[in-house]
Amino acid sequence: MTLENFIYESVDEIFSGDYDGTKERIIKHKDIYQDDTAICFSLLALGSFVKKQYDEYYQFMNDAQFLVEQSKDYMTNILHELVLGHVNFTEKNSALYSINYNKARKLAIKFQKTAFFETFLRCRGRKKSSPTLIFSRWGLVFIFVFHNV
């Protein structure tokens, strides 16, 4: 399994409600592949946030932030910004989520990983009743979520 597929599967499982099983798998992955520790902490932070376990979220996110700052790996940086963007988007903090998503987008373009960026945005908690429209203009990312009323 590639690292990208591990991330996609973990994100899908987190948003489908199976965080506990996913958490165990992420921790096992972290122990085996120590180079991916920052990625695992970002995924654990995302899962904790989705489950509303905010104490764990802040702990995992602080650990991830420290490791991301030390990392030169582009996937680590892109994922961390996408997780921060999701958190700020969920909290309706439009100024910050725009910054996070655009930083992730620029990194994805720079390292030719736009497919990873777009796939993450598509699988990040979209429900069948709320399609998401994502497009990029003028160097910015715009995300619209439509809800059936």
- What pLDDT score was predicted for residue 35? 86
Query: Does residue 117 surpass a pLDDT of 90?
Result: no
Task: Go through 11-45 and write b for each residue having 16 or more CB atoms within 10 A of its CB, e for each that does not.
Answer: bebbbeeebeebbebbeebbeeeeebbbbbbbbbb
For residue 149, give the 3-state DSSP assignment: coil
Reply yes or no on whether the pLDDT at 114 is more than 50.
Answer: yes
Q: How confident is the model at residue 115 (pLDDT cuts 50, 70, 90)?
A: confident
Task: Give per-residue pLDDT as tens, 5-50.
Answer: 899 899 988 988 888 889 999 999 999 888 889 999 999 999 999 9
108 and 117 Cβ atoms separated by less than 8 Å: yes
pLDDT of residue 126: 47
Average pLDDT score over residue span 62-66: 95
Residue 64 has pLDDT above 90, yes or no: yes
Mean pLDDT, all residues of the chain: 82
What residues form DSSP beta bridges with 134?
143
Q: What is the pLDDT of residue 136?
A: 44
pTM for the whole structure = 0.80
pLDDT at 61 over 80: yes
* DSSP character string of 13-81: HHHHT-HHHHHHHHHHHHHH-GGGHHHHHHHHHHHHHHTT-HHHHHHHHHHHHHHHHH---HHHHHHHH
Q: What is the pLDDT averaged over residues 50-63?
A: 95
